[in-house]
Amino acid sequence: MKTTPHALFSYIADAAPADAQPNPFLPLIGYALLFAAMYFFLFAPARKAQKEREKLQSQLEVGQEIMTSTGIYGRITHISDSRVTIELDSGKMTIHKSSVAGLASDESKVIPA
């Protein structure tokens, strides 16, 4: 008996019937499994984080202490459709609503952008 790794492959090849046709759907099943794994490991967590961020941004209220995605802390003084005016120690700043990363009181729950 041969002791090389090639011997195992030749044994398997000899054991298969000579007239057996390969399954044409086998590669498609592999691609489907790969896509499903990518979805659950890459796309689903990102979608969940985006939904949490959108929920937070839709529930903003005047007077809340927030942290922006760039690390600026401030208190909300005015909210319009897509803009938020925050009060800083040195003045006021108007930012886009999408740059709000979380509430300053819940730093552990800040949603990364």
Cα distance between residue 54 and residue 98, in whole Å: 8
Residue partners of 7: CB distance under 8 A and separation at least 6: 1
* Domain 61-107 in this protein, CATH class: mainly beta
Angle, CA 28 vertex, CA 24 and CA 29 arms, to 5° = 105
- What Cα–Cα distance (Å) separates residue 15 from each residue in 18, 42, 112? 9, 40, 55
Give the pTM.
Answer: 0.59
- What Cα–Cα distance (Å) separates residue 55 from each residue in 44, 82, 85, 101? 17, 14, 19, 11
pLDDT in tens, 21-47: 777 778 888 899 999 998 889 888 989
pLDDT for the residue 60: 92
pLDDT band of residue 51 (cuts 50, 70, 90) is very high
If one compares 111 and 57, the residue with the highest pLDDT of the two is 57
pLDDT for the residue 110: 59
pLDDT in tens, 73-103: 999 999 998 999 999 989 999 999 999 988 8
pLDDT for the residue 3: 55
pLDDT for the residue 25: 79
Q: How is the beta sheet containing 65-68 ordered, strand by strand?
A: 91-96, 83-88, 73-79, 65-68, 100-103
Strand partners, 76: 86
Residue 2 has pLDDT above 70, yes or no: no
